Amino acid sequence: MPDRKGLVAGNWKMNMRRADGIALAHAIAERAKEPHACELLVCPPATLIAAVGEALAGSGVALGGQDCHAAPAGAFTGCISAEMLKDAGCSHVIVGHSERRHTCGETDTDVRAKTLAAWRAGLVAIVCVGETRLEREAGGALAVVAAQLAGSLPDGATADKLVLAYEPVWAIGTGLTPTTADIAEMHAAIRARIPAGTRILYGGSVNPKNAAEILAHGEVDGALIGGASLKVEDFWAIGQACG
Ligand code: PGA
């Protein structure tokens, strides 16, 4: 991955209560004292951002949100703005995760607005794209992702404020993964549509067993990890496989 430092990001999703989350964050911070070639990022649920941030302080492990609202503030019950994430210590935010696209009905237009919000607040936006199983089986994966990119990415993207995450919907939480060749093909297609130097993560059932092969490919700049990010040894092993 020339000129693109590896990034391994843990998306805790709607998991972890206070004691478990703080313990995991301390364990990650402890591990991160050991040599590692990649950047590490943890995205806890909103309730734990402040506490996890305290536990990670000084470790070099970055803190991120899992979503943000497009507006900076206002009457949006239950929502969190990018400015609030920044204020809570975040440097990154995931936008357009398929669980939000599919269960919350988020559109490319929403994802685009959230990406702009992230940049407005000074956060790096991790923009997620990926096809469903039916779309891949129909031979439409590349076209679907190209359309998501066209709709989700605002003008003005630069490599320092944007990370792409290719996450095939059918691979998330299923134990299934595309072949490394399929991942590389998709990453190359994405790379042709984003600024030079922008990192592209692969996400979807990454675990300590498959990480080395996936992350060894020059097209893959890191991983966005769900389930395996909830165990320090798995998260660390994937981090060690990167870069
Ligand atoms: P998974 O989730 O690693 O549990 O498949 C990945 C993701 O949703 O980012």
Counting from 1 in the atom list of ligand 1, the atom nearest the Cα of 174 is: 5
The residue whose CA has the least distance to atom 2 of ligand 1 is 226
Q: Provide the pLDDT for residue 3.
A: 76
CA distance 223 to 133: 20
pLDDT for residue 1 is more than 70:
no
The three-class DSSP label of residue 132 is: coil
- What is the amino acid identity at position 108? D
The preferred substitution site among 206, 209, 229, 235 for testing ligand 1, maximizing ligand atoms within 8 Å of CB, is: 206
Please tell me the pTM assigned to this model. 0.97
- Helix 141-152 vs helix 180-191: angle between axes, to the nearest 10 degrees? 40
Angular region, 133: left φ>0, alpha ψ -120 to 50, beta rest: alpha
CA of 75 to the centre of ligand 1 (A): 31
CA distance 226 to 206: 8
pLDDT for residue 147 is more than 90:
yes
pLDDT tens digits, 64-89: 999 999 999 999 999 999 999 999 99
Q: Would you call 167 a catalytic residue per the annotation?
A: yes
55 near 25, Cβ under 8 Å? yes
pLDDT for residue 2 is more than 80:
no
Counting from 1 in the atom list of ligand 1, the atom nearest the Cα of 165 is: 9
CA distance 215 to 212: 5
CA distance 68 to 45: 12
User: Considering 39, 167, 187, 219, which one is annotated as catalytic?
Assistant: 167
Q: Would you call 187 a catalytic residue per the annotation?
A: no
Q: Provide the pLDDT for residue 164.
A: 98
Counting from 1 in the atom list of ligand 1, the atom nearest the Cα of 207 is: 3
Q: What pLDDT band is residue 58 in, cutting at 50, 70 and 90?
A: very high
Question: Between 170 and 243, whose confidence is greater?
Answer: 170
Strand 39-43 relative to strand 92-95: parallel, antiparallel, unpaired? unpaired
Q: How far apart are the first and last CA of the chain?
A: 8
Integer CA distances (angstroms), 33 to 58, 95, 234, in order: 10, 29, 16
pLDDT for residue 236 is more than 70:
yes
Length of the chain (residues): 243
Ligand 1 residue neighbourhood (C-beta within 6 Å): 11, 167, 172-173, 203-206, 224-228
pLDDT for residue 243 is more than 90:
no
The preferred substitution site among 13, 95, 172 for testing ligand 1, maximizing ligand atoms within 8 Å of CB, is: 172
CA of 28 to the centre of ligand 1 (A): 18
The rounded mean pLDDT for the chain is 97
The preferred substitution site among 225, 229, 230 for testing ligand 1, maximizing ligand atoms within 8 Å of CB, is: 225
The residue whose CA has the least distance to atom 7 of ligand 1 is 226
The residue whose CA has the least distance to atom 3 of ligand 1 is 226
Q: What value does the CA radius of gyration of the chain take, rounded to a whole number of Å?
A: 16
Element at 31 (helix H, strand E): helix 18-31
CA distance 43 to 39: 13
Counting from 1 in the atom list of ligand 1, the atom nearest the Cα of 172 is: 5
pLDDT tens digits, 95-146: 999 999 999 999 999 999 999 999 999 999 999 999 999 999 999 999 999 9
Element at 40 (helix H, strand E): strand 39-43
Element at 162 (helix H, strand E): strand 162-166
Q: Provide the pLDDT for residue 21.
A: 98
pLDDT tens digits, 177-212: 999 999 999 999 999 999 999 999 999 999 999 999
DSSP β-bridge partners for residue 94: 126
